[in-house]
Structure 1
Amino acid sequence: MNSDNKSSENDIAGEDSDSGISGKNQSGEEFSPEPLSLEDLYHIYGIERSHADNVARNALELFDILNSIHGLHPEMRNVVEISALVHDTGVATDFENHHKAGRVILLLHPPSELPERLWPVVAWTAFLHKKRVGKEKVEKLKGKDFGKMPEDLQNLTLKVASIIRLADGLDYSRMESRLGKVTFGKNIVRFEIKGQGAAIDAERMSKKGDLWHMLYDTKLEFRPESEK
């Protein structure tokens, strides 16, 4: 999959077709999502605000810097921001498996600030933000509930998640690392990372770039600012 396989993100925000997000709870009973505001999600699920804000800041910077590559419609910038703000919703519920807990919570209580059609994008982005993601994992997901979403939403979710993974990696050390100088080359973008935790976070971003590199032909490289 690469940047030439662009889906119809441009039309997603305005579509009113069925999102297919109603489902069954653990008892097998049908449920319909009950949206909550971001503030309510923060309060009820104890989201770490400083980390959430840092990841959202990082994600928006990455969205803007890489816009010529990811090709997402500008309206998707808001989806990226909100996905970043709630990516760790499940931490207080189940730290070890917070990506799974977050998906369940956000399928039940999606952010009310987003249109209904985009609710599952946020839930599945939370699920995809933690562990390694490669072609095999994505193919397995397509055979499960993830694959029941419209294909354009599946593609959008993967693209949003690829950015959130990088943004989360940039705050891995919790030392306020920031993006520094960015250099564009042929099929490569090099980022210098600033801050006391730059070495830690540059390494983490490299690991979390797996999904990005699966989706796009343009390689991303990360190194501490002081490293020459």
Structure 2
Amino acid sequence: MMRLVRRCRAPEVHSLQVAALALRLFDQTRPWHRLGQQERDWLEYAAMLHDIGYFINYTRHHKHSYHLIIHSNLIGFSPRELAIIANLARFHRRAEPKERHKEFARLGRADQKLVRKLAAILRVADGLDRSHSQRIEVINCERFDKKTLLHLVARQDLGIEIWGAQQKAGLFEEVFQTKLVYKHVNPKE
């Protein structure tokens, strides 16, 4: 996986941070999505590969990431698994997955639902490293009724990260029926 990230000159440290944040969010929201280890692995792989499309062009890198993954012939993955991972990378930014997107429409209904859940998590995780500076050390989620409080542990200002997550939170809030609220926690306090 990392060989493809390096070969495509994607931002490696950012990819690792987004994967770590996505997995933390996945684990803490497991009671809501009820997904297992295989789906967790697909989320991790998509998080690692989400920016490989930079290799072709920044402007539409999410679409290029999709094509690079789907045509990568990664060993050990079925065509279905590659389609899921590629769709997750495709929808980490810009438009949310909808039937009008041909790559998403090719998936079965169950896989479309899965991609929406995992893309919701990936989008927030990517937003939380908006500055590509790996500021967030720990995330803890607390759900209160229709709100979810994300405790973001960091030593530096998180203004850009919180803004980035807010810009990408719509799918998460729709899929999980909750409003995301962010709280910066300084570990020194």
TM range (shorter): 0.7 to 0.9
Which residue of 2 is the match for residue 171 of structure 1? 129
Residue among 176, 179, 185 paired with 1:225: 185
Quote the offset at 1:127 in angstroms.
Answer: 1.2
The CA distance in 2 between the partners of 1:88 and 1:123, in whole Å, is 11
Write out per-residue CA displacement over residues 112-158 of structure 1, whole angstroms, 9 at most, x where no aligned residue: 3544421101111111111142xxx61422xx242122111111111
Deviations 1:148-182 (A, max 9, x none): 22111111111111111011011112232324453
- Corresponding residue of 2:175: 215
Percentage of pairs with the same residue: 25
TM-score scaled by length of structure 2: 0.88
Q: Measure, in 2, the Cα distance between the counterparts of 1:145 and 1:56.
A: 23
Q: Count residues in correspondence.
A: 184
Code of the residue aligned with 2:67 in structure 1: it is V
Q: Which amino acid aligns with 1:98?
A: H
* Cα gap change, 1:184 to 1:124, in 2 (>3 Å): same
1:188 maps to 147
| 1:79 to partner: Cα distance | 0.8
Alignment-derived partner of residue 33 in structure 1? none
Amino acid of the structure 1 residue aligned with 2:148: V
Larger radius of gyration: 1
Greater helix content? 2
TM-score (norm 1): 0.74
1:165-217 superposed Cα distances (whole Å, 9 cap, x missing partner): 01101111223232445332113210122321412111211221111122121
**What's 1:91 paired with?**
54
